[in-house]
Structures are given as C-alpha cells and as structure tokens.
Structure 1
Amino acid sequence: MKALCWEGVNKVGVENLEDPSIQNAHDIVVKVKYSTSCGSDLHLLTGHVPFMEAGDVLGHEFCGEVVEVGPAVRKHSVGDRVVVASFIGCGSCWYCKHDLWSLCDNTNTNPGHTQLLWGSNPGAVFGYSHALGGFRGSHAEYIRVPFGDMTAFPVPEGVSDLSALFASDAAPTGWMGADLGGVTGGDVVAVWGAGAVGQMAARASQLLGAERVVVIDRFGYRLDMVRERFGVETLDYTATDVGAELREMTAGRGPDVCIEAVGCEAHSPGPQHVYDQVKSKLKLETDRPIAVREAIQACRKGGSVFILGVFTGFVDKFPLGALMNKGLTVRGAQQHGQRYIPMLLDRIAAGELSTEQFATHVLPLEDGQRGYDLFKEKDDDCVRAVFAPNAP
C-alpha cells in the first residue's frame, strides 16, 4: 500500500509498505477514505517531538470503510463506514472505565519514554511517534485499528465522510475543552486559537450555554470563518491588547472560562516570542507557553483555564503566582474521543455542528509535502489539508 511517511525534519514522502493485517482478535482493518493533517502533526514535522524515525507513517484523524474484522469484534462488519478516535482505548483498564480514554493503561507499547518525561504514560495514538506507541498512522491506503469495538464508531446515514472525518479528533478535542473546562449557561468564554480545534471549542461553548464566546488568533481568514459560521466574536492579537479587550467585554472581571487551543509552538508579536524561541533553541525549555500565560492572566478570579494545545515537556516563566492567587482551576488533557464521538456524530447529523468547512484542501497522498507546507505556512487560506489515500 501507499503511505505518507515522515522522512526527516519538515520532509514527508510517499512510500510503499506492506498492507496491514489482523494481528489481534479485537483488530479491524480500515480502508482510509480521508485522513487530515492536524496542528499537533506539525510538532512531529519540525522535530519538536524527538521520537520519530524515518519511515514512520503520519496521521491520526481519519475515517473510512471496514474491510477486515478480527474474530472477537462484535460491533463492526465488513463494509461499515466508521470514524476512528485518534487515541486507542482498550475499554477495560481503570482509565477507560472512567471515561479517561487518552490515559489508557494498555495501549502504549513504549511507556518508558513518557514515564521518564511525565511520570507515567498516556495511551497510544495513531501515527504519533514511538513515545506514544509507535503505531502506523492514517495517511495510508489501509490502517490496522486495535480494539476496534472501542476505538471505531459507525457513521450515521446522512453524515458525509468529510463531516465525519473531524469527529475523529478536532471536534471531540474542542468539545472536551468546553466540557471539562466547566462551561455553563451565561458564561463568557475566550478561546485562544482559531484552527479547527479552537473553532470546535467555540461552538461547543455555545451549545453548552455560553452567553458570549470570543476567539483569538492572528489569521484573518480563520477568524472570518469562525465568526461567519458560528456567530462568535473575534480578536486579532496582533492588532489589539487582548487582555484589555477581554476585561472591557466582562465589566473588568475577565472571561469565566479560557480555553487554550494553540500548543507548544505558540506565536506572539511581542518580546516574549523572541524570549521563548531563544530558550527553546538553546534547549533551556522545550515549549513556548505564550497562549497559556495569556489565558491565565486574562481569566477572571475563580475562573477556569483548560489547555487543549499539545505540550511536550518544560516551560519557563509560567505564571504560577497568578494561578494560585487568583484561585484558578487549570486542567488539560489529550482528547477522550470515545467519550464524545457518538454524541458529536448525532449533533452533526442533526445539523447542530458543522465540520466539513475545515477541509479547505483535499489532496492525494502524492501531494503530501505540498499539503503539509500549505497547512504549516497557512498559505491559500488553508485550515486543514486533507488526504484521500484511495482516490482514483
């Protein structure tokens, strides 16, 4: 089969690999219809995540058709349309049973790396380095899905493949930020980042009852999309003082819930961006927590900050004093997709949630380098580069 592989820093290429097969009784094999780039994939491309090897298949957000099932699979049959959670969950460990699926104890086959970095290991992710399981990714014609009954979900009639695609990761990640961030009726919510995840966090906040939602970014076309599609307010952080604007909107208090959907390579027009770039290049810190700092400073006293963006290690100048003295609740997580995907598919089917608009560029695998370049550089108003591995 053809697969789009990591070949080095900022370099991908199509390789011919052996087709996947059933290795465990609970496996299914999926013929991939669509697989999208994700902001967290850029951390792999840039070498920010140091556990990639040449030839690793990229991609973790996908949908397709079941073509083979293991003998213990009960919920899927050959020919089913499915969307697959990016995190693999066993369904039987303590964490899965408590709906904390990205923390699964049994799927990460290389726990040593993350135990050293973080004190314990999360679950495995498709195509996301050998620190998170070393599983082949979804930018391929076919993919083996372990624990198929727990990790794949049927796509309802009337939901297009492109809409279902973003129920794999972007939609549940964004929804989780609003849900676990504690958004309730009447809240003012601020979201840093207007990519697909940030936009989904904004829409989830609306559906959970937020009175006002403000999305912060620097790319006009992404701010236009979320404003026009969902009717939220927007701020361009390169053109205004975000903290002052948010205080003005909230009678001086600040937002009730702040959701960070940017991650470890955040940008800023101010001197802190240069500071963090220099520190990270000198290996004195691993991540640039610019948006997290801003969210903590902006949040009202007693409010909630949820960190959705991916972070890998250690940061500098973290505003711990503000966090403690303002009485903030700060949470973060990788997405618990299995907790949200069925509900999100129902909302997509009912017209409450639109996702297909994120697929601004649909390309064959052979255009993988171009797709990732468009996505990384935000050229041609690219929100997501989507690959169709089996397109004629």
Structure 2
Amino acid sequence: MRALTWQGPRNVEVTDVADPRLEADTDAIIAVTTTAICGSDLHLYELLGPFLAPGDVLGHEAMGIVQETGSAVSHIKPGDRVVIPFNISCGHCWMCDRGLFAQCETTQVREHGCGAALFGYTKLYGSVPGGQAELLRVPQAQFGPIKVPDGPPDEQFVYLSDVLPTAWQAVEYAAIPEGGSVAVFGLGPIGQMSARIAAHRGARVIGIDLEPERLEMAVRHGVEVVDARDQDDVPAVVRDMTAGRGTDSVIDAVGMEAHGSPGAEFLQKLVTALPDAVAEPMMTKAGVDRLTALYQCIDAVRRGGTISLSGVYAGTADPLPMLTMFDKGVRVSMGQAHVKHWTGDLLPLVVDESDPLGVRDLATHWLPLEQAPHGYDIFQRKVDGAVKVLLQPGK
C-alpha cells in the first residue's frame, strides 16, 4: 500500500509499505477514506525526530470503511463506516473504567513513562503505524472505532478522531463559569473548534492569532479576535476587553512551537540537528519548549481563573513563573484528550444538519495522499491559507 512516511526533519515521503494484517483477535483493518494533518504532526515534522525512525508511517486522524475484523470485535463489521480515535484504549482497564482513555493501562507505553499508545506518534507512544495511508490496522478495535452513518461527507465526521474531542475537553477543562469569558490563544484547528464550542455553550470568546485567514475564520463564527501582529502586549489588550481583570478562563491551543521565543527556537533547531543518541536525552530532560503563548495565557487569565492546556509541550525542565501563578491563584488543567469520553456529547452535534459547530467550515485543503508532503509544507509554513489539510487516499 501507499503511506506517508517520515524520512527526517522536514522530510516526509509517500512510499510503498507492507499492507497491514490482523495481529490479534481485537484488531480491525480499515480502508482509509479521509485522514488529516494535525498540528501535532508538525511537531514530528519539525522537532521530535529523535523519537522517530525513517519509514515510520505518520498520522493519527483517520476514518474509513471496515475491511476485516478479529474474532473479538463485534460492534463493527466489514462495510461499516468508522472514525478511529487517535488514542488506542481498551475500554475495560482501571483507567478506562474512569473515562481516562488517554491513560489506558492496557496500551500504556511504560518503557518511556507515557500514557496510552497513539497512532503514528513516535516510539514514546508505541510506534504504532499511523493513518496517513491507504490501510490502517486498528488495535483494540473491540472498543475504539466510532461507527458513523453513511451519507454525509467525511469532513463532517473525521474530526471526531481528535480535533473535536480535544477541543471539547479543552473547554471542559477551562471551567468557564456560566456566562463567563475565555481567551483562546492559537486559532489553528483545535483553537477554532475550542472557540466555537465555548461560544455554543454560551461563553464570550476572544481568539488570538497571527494569521489573517485564521482570524477571519474565527470572526465568521462569532468570535472576537485580537491580531497579535498589531499588539505589543496581547494580555494587556485582553484585560482591557474584560474590565481590567482578564478572562475567566484561557485555552492554550498553541503548544511548544510558539512564535516569539527566539532562544528556545534556537535550542529546538540545535537539538533537531544532533544525532539521536544525543538529542533524545536532551529532549526528555531539558526545557526545550517555546513558552511565549503559555506565558501570555498566565498573564491574560484573571485572578482565580483557569488555564486549560491542549497545545502539546515536550520539555521536562521548562521554566514557569510559579510566583505569578501562585499569587494569582491560577488553576491549570491539561492532557491528551480522552476521545471516547466525549463522543456522546459530540456526535449529536456532528450529525445535526444545521452544523452548530461549523465542522464544514474548517478544512481549507483536500489533497490526494500522494500530495501529503505538499500538505505538510504549506501547513507548517502557514501559506496558501492552510488552516486544516485533509488527505484522501485513493484519489
């Protein structure tokens, strides 16, 4: 089959790889109809090379048609249309029983001290081949796949794999009071959907970004925006918009590659250029994240407010302004999304013909799988209006 494989920093290629096969009675094989490039994939493209090997198949947002199932899989069958959650969870361990599917103890990658295995996301999360491919083996398929109806286009459902549950959890973790306010830093796919979900639930939403296409998209969905290019002090602007206090809650949808951190940016590039044997311990023990967005979140939230982190951070020894956080009484919630925990909340909104979350207004590019390297390039460089890129194997 054809699949998008990592070959080195900023170097991905569509190559021939072996077709997947059932390896356990809890597996399924799906023919991928749509898969997406995620902002987290860009961290692999740019920074997390020490944890990848040439030929690793990328991608963790996928949906398609079931081709084959193991004997222990009964809730889906060949021919069903399914979305695949990005985290691989069993549904029955101690963590899963508590809805903490991103911490599944059955697939937990204990060797590296990480949580549940993820599709297409480095050896830290199990080196499981990803979904930017024609076919995908789905472990723990007795629980994971989400069956969706035939008819509506893939773009109406594919975001159930990651974008929508991650955004929904970000809003949940933000603990926005009834009728309260939230600032969303970063208006990429997760930030866009976090803003829309918060607005859908009655919050006042202020979105912050640097890219005009992202700002324009947020405005279309009723979000007040701050163009960070025009402001020397974004948190001060947010406070000015909220009676001098700051918003009740803040969502960081940016993560470790934020703009405005030249020192950390240099360190990231240095680590990426080093041999894996040297770079890997640096990545796991040093403070290598670009923290400008997080610092601004801490500054912009009101006293006694809540910060919800959905952006990915990778450094172990990142410096945080603990005095400010303690003095302001800030609460912080974070973590990988527990995808299936939120499916019951999201599926009715996704199948609603009125499209209350605007899922049909997120993708900006639809590309055949063979053009995936171009998709990574434009998404990474934020050119050609790329906000969300969907790949369509077989086209």
Residue from 352, 358, 361 that aligns with 1:357: 361
Tell me what 2:326 maps to. 324
Amino acid at match of 2:10: N
Contact kept, 8 Å, 1:289 with 1:315, in 2: the verdict is no
2:35 maps to which residue?
35
Q: Which amino acid aligns with 2:115?
A: P
Amino acid at match of 2:313: F
In 2: Cα distance, 1:143 partner to 1:279 partner = 35
Instruction: Give CA deviations for 1:322-377 in whole Å, capped at 9, x if unaligned.
Output: 11111111011111111113431210111222223222111112112111101111
CA–CA separation in structure 2 for the residues paired with 1:222 and 1:371? 17
Question: For residues 275 and 145 of structure 1, what CA distance do their matches in structure 2 show?
Answer: 40
Q: 2:264 aligns with which of 261, 276, 290?
A: 276
**Residue 139 of structure 1 corresponds to which residue in structure 2?**
132
Deviations along 1:6-34, one digit per CA (max 9) or x if unpaired, are: 01111111121121111111111111001
Q: Secondary structure at 2:132's aligned position in 1?
A: coil
Alignment-derived partner of residue 214 in structure 1: 206
CA distance in 2, matches of 1:367, 1:29: 24
Using the size of structure 1 for normalisation, the TM-score is 0.93
CA pair 316-219 structure 1, distance change in 2 beyond 3 A: same
5+ residue gaps, structure 1, are 116-120
The whole-number CA distance in structure 2 between the counterparts of 1:155 and 1:189 is 31
After superposition, give the CA deviation of every residue in 1:214-239 in whole Å (9 maximum; x if it has no partner). 110000111101111x1110111121
Alignment of 1:1-392 (within 5 A): 1-48=1-48, 50-108=50-108, 110-113=109-112, 115=113, 121-210=114-203, 212-228=204-220, 230-240=221-231, 241-268=233-260, 273-280=261-268, 281=270, 285-350=287-352, 351-391=355-395
Shift of 1:279: 4.4
Q: Distance in 2 between matches of 1:276 and 1:313?
A: 11
Equivalent position amino acid for 1:357 in 2:
D
Q: Residue 2 of structure 1: CA displacement?
A: 0.7
- Provide TM-score, normalisation by structure 2: 0.92
Three-state SS of the structure 2 residue aligned to 1:390 is: coil
Shift of 1:180: 1.8
Seen in structure 2, the aligned counterparts of structure 1 residues 177 and 151 have a Cα distance that, compared at 3 Å, is: same
What's 2:275 paired with? none
The AA in structure 2 aligned to 1:67 is Q
- How many residue pairs are counted as aligned between the two chains? 378
For the 8 Å contact 1:150–1:338, the answer to whether it is kept is: no
User: C-alpha separation between the residues in 2 aligned to 1:275 and 1:317?
Assistant: 13
User: What letter matches 1:177 in structure 2?
Assistant: A
Where does residue 274 of structure 2 map in the other structure? none
Taking the aligned partners of 1:49 and 1:309, their CA distance within structure 2 comes to 19
Q: Is the 8 A contact 2:9 2:49 kept in 1?
A: no
Name the CA distance, whole Å, in 2 between partners of 1:316 and 1:66.
Answer: 43
CA contact (8 A) 1:288 1:315 kept: no
Following the alignment from structure 2 to structure 1, what is the Cα–Cα distance between the partners of residues 37 and 318? 29
Q: Distance in 2 between matches of 1:317 and 1:155?
A: 44
Q: For residues 130 and 217 of structure 1, what CA distance do their matches in structure 2 show?
A: 32
Q: Distance in 2 between matches of 1:198 and 1:36?
A: 16
For the residues of structure 1 that align with 2:49 and 2:329, how far apart are their CA atoms?
32
Shift of 1:315: 4.9
| Change in 2 beyond 3 A, CA 1:37/1:314 | same
Q: Which moved more, 1:277-286 or 1:371-380?
A: 277-286
CA distance in 2, matches of 1:7, 1:332: 31
Partners of 2:145 and 2:139 lie apart in 1 by 9
Please give the alpha-carbon distance, in whole angstroms, between the structure 1 residues aligned to 2:364 and 2:223.
Answer: 20
State the AA in 1 paired with 2:99: D
In the alignment, residue 248 of structure 1 is paired with which amino acid? D
Over 3 Å counting, the alpha-carbon distance change for 1:157 and 1:373 in structure 2 is same
Which structure 2 residue ranges, 5 or more long, are not aligned? 272-281
CA contact (8 A) 1:111 1:132 kept: no
Residue by residue, what CA displacement relative to the aligned partner does 1:177-199 show, whole Å, maximum 9, x if unpaired?
00122123211100001011001
User: Which stretch of structure 1 is more off in the superposition, 153-162 or 87-96?
Assistant: 153-162
Partners in 2 of 1:386 and 1:51 — Cα distance?
Answer: 25
Distance of aligned partners of 1:70 and 1:316 in 2 relative to their CA distance in 1, 3 Å threshold: closer
What is the identity, as a one-letter code, of the residue corresponding to 2:325? L
How far does residue 319 in structure 1 lie from its aligned partner after superposition? 1.2
